[in-house]
Every structure is written in C-alpha cells, then in structure tokens.
C-alpha cells in the first residue's frame, strides 16, 4: 500500500481511528487520595459526585487539594486498560460549599484549624470573640 493515496474523508482499512474525548467539567468532593507524587503533582484520587453513589477515580495534577474539599475539575473522561473509566484532570479550582450539609462537612473535615464539632450531635457554636483572644 506504499504510495497509495487515500481520498479525503475516507479511511485506511485496519487502522483504528482515535479521537480525544471532549473537554468536561466535574464538580466533586475529594474523598481520599490514593497516590500523590509531590515532585510532579500527579495524583490518583477518589471523589464523590451528585451524579453517582459510587466514588469516581480522578487522575492528574491535584497537588494541594485536600480530602473534604469541593473541587471543580476540568479535564476529559478516559478508559484505562487496567483501571477502567477515569477522569483525567487538566486543571481544578477549589469551590466553597454552598449548602448546609456542605458547610458542615467542610468545617468537620479539619481543613480549617480549630473547627470541629464540639458535641456528639455534630453541632457547632459560633463565638463573637475572635479566636486569638
């Protein structure tokens, strides 16, 4: 087939055509970090979304993201031959929680030093005094 021209719009037999998945945005809560390389930032993590009751796997540069944080991930869906469907992160932003449940989870995650439930009921108190006094 050397030197054979292929007409525009036609395909060469026995060749697989691969297309990059379209860009996607995924809003999720970082549940746990499975692996993180501090030198490169490459991370394998599990996230929870409103779309599914199962945790999803995300991979890519997530250096600095902490479990409990709400994230807006930009990237593409891909299928790994060994690990299955994954979201390949290209960039991310931290999103502040907007619901009561999200705020409770955020405060209880330990991301803010000194914030944690004070009673077994999981309720918080808000003091008018600044914490440095």
Per-residue pLDDT, 43: 96
**Backbone phi, then psi, for 54, in 5-degree steps?**
-85, 150
Vertex 51 angle, CA 26 and 79, to 5°: 60
Q: Tell me the pLDDT tens digit for each residue of 115-127.
A: 555 555 555 555 5
Strand bridging mode 24-36 / 56-61: unpaired
pLDDT over 80 at 110, yes or no: no
26 strand-pairing partners: 73
**Backbone phi, then psi, for 98, in 5-degree steps?**
-120, -5
CATH number for the domain running over 24-96:
2.40.50.140
Domain residue spans of the chain: 24-96
pLDDT over 70 at 1, yes or no: no
As given in the structure block, the two tokens for residue 6 are 């292929």
**Confidence band, pLDDT 50/70/90 cuts, at residue 113:** low
Do residues 74 and 83 touch, judged by C-beta distance below 8 A? no
As given in the structure block, the two tokens for residue 52 are 């599914």
Per-residue pLDDT, 6: 39
d(CA 6, CA 45): 44
Per-residue pLDDT, 60: 97
77 strand-pairing partners: 87
Distances (CA, A) of 82 to 25, 91, 101: 24, 24, 35
Distances (CA, A) of 70 to 3, 10, 11, 65, 77: 54, 45, 44, 9, 19
**What's the chain's average pLDDT?**
77
């Amino acid at each position: 087939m050397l030197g054979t021209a292929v007409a525009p719009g036609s395909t060469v037999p026995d060749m697989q055509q691969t297309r990059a998945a379209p860009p996607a945005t995924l809003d999720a809560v970082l549940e746990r970090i499975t692996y993180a390389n501090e030198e490169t930032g490459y991370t394998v993590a599990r996230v929870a979304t409103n779309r599914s009751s199962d945790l999803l796997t995300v991979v890519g540069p997530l250096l600095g993201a902490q479990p409990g944080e709400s994230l807006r991930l930009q990237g593409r869906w891909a299928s790994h031959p060994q690990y299955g469907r994954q979201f390949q992160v290209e960039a991310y932003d931290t999103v502040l929680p907007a619901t009561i449940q999200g705020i409770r989870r955020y405060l209880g995650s330990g991301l803010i030093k000194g914030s944690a439930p004070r009673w077994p009921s999981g309720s918080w108190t808000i003091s008018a005094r600044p914490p440095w006094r």
